[in-house]
């Protein structure tokens, strides 16, 4: 039994995290106030959370469909394929950032969906490279997970864009009450 000794590099991990943070910030960017601190902070948190879940689900489905290979080579090979696939999000994130903050576009969900789908396909390709042969089951598994996450991300954006305003309003209410403003009753 040959065991894999893959260890994720810090650079790959940071590139992945930065990509998902940028996706979160750009998805929640308010065209009237691009630098709203509440939108930025909530976008960072949502992006990191979404990236964490997406990476876990991709790995879980690759584990599910490559159980025997994982037994032979260890679970690190799956992590390696997913980590390498995640790097394919970088060009889409750069385009998203430029479109949002450079061109001031507000409808940039296409970049997010395309990036997520490319990560799934790239992860399947990386898994094929490691195994020495491409298998359709890996492509279907990663494409299915990516499709579901792209849909979930797209459908949740309208809901998530409201949250920073509620956080900001709550904080301002607490500041007002703490500062002696009260309700004026």
Cα separation, 131 vs 44, whole angstroms: 35
Q: Please tell me the predicted confidence (pLDDT) of residue 17.
A: 96
Quote the pLDDT of residue 2.
43
C-beta of residue 96 within 8 angstroms of C-beta of residue 22: yes
Q: How confident is the model over 120-168, as pLDDT tens digits?
A: 999 999 999 998 888 999 999 999 999 999 999 999 999 999 999 999 9
The whole-number pLDDT of residue 7 equals: 59
pTM: 0.86
* Coil, strand or helix at 30: strand
Cα 120 from chain centre: 12
Q: Are the C-beta atoms of 79 and 8 separated by less than 8 Å?
A: yes
Report which of 41, 28, 52 is spatially closest to residue 157, judged by C-alpha positions: 28
What's residue 184's pLDDT?
55
> What pLDDT score does 181 carry?
66
Q: 90-97 and 109-131 are packed helices; what angle lies between their axes, rounded to 10 degrees?
A: 170
CA 41 to chain centre: 15
User: For 6, phi and psi rounded to 5 degrees?
Assistant: -65, 135
What number of other Cβ atoms are within 10 A of residue 163's Cβ?
16
User: pLDDT 10s per residue in the chain (185 long)?
Assistant: 344 455 557 899 999 999 999 999 999 998 888 889 999 999 999 999 999 999 999 999 999 988 888 888 888 888 999 999 999 999 999 999 999 999 988 888 899 999 999 999 999 999 999 988 889 999 999 999 999 999 999 999 999 999 999 999 999 889 888 877 666 55
Q: Give me Rg for the CA atoms of the chain.
A: 20
- 33 beta partners: 30
Q: Which residues contact 99 (CB under 8 A, 6 or more apart)?
A: 26, 105, 108, 111
What pLDDT is stored for residue 10 in this prediction? 87
User: How far is Cα 16 from Cα 177, in angstroms, rounded to an integer?
Assistant: 41
Strand partners, 30: 33
Report yes or no: 34 and 23 within 8 Å, Cβ to Cβ. no
């Amino acid at each position: 039994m040959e065991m894999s000794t893959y260890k994720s590099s810090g650079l790959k991990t940071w590139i992945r995290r930065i990509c998902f943070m940028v996706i979160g910030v750009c998805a929640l960017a308010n065209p009237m106030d691009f630098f709203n601190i509440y939108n930025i902070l909530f976008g960072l948190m949502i992006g990191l959370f979404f990236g964490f879940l997406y990476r876990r689900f991709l790995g879980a489905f690759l584990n599910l469909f490559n159980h025997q290979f994982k037994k032979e080579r260890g679970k690190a090979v799956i992590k390696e394929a997913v980590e390498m696939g995640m790097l394919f999000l970088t060009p889409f994130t750069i385009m998203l950032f430029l479109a949002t903050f450079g061109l001031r576009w507000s409808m940039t969900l296409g970049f997010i969906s395309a990036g997520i789908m490319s990560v799934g396909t790239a992860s399947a390709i990386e898994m094929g490279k490691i195994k020495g042969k491409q298998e359709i089951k890996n492509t279907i598994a990663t494409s299915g997970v990516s499709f579901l996450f792209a849909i979930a991300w797209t459908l949740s954006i309208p809901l998530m864009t409201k949250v920073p305003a509620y956080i900001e309003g709550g904080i301002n209410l607490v500041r007002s009450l703490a500062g002696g403003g009260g309700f004026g009753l």
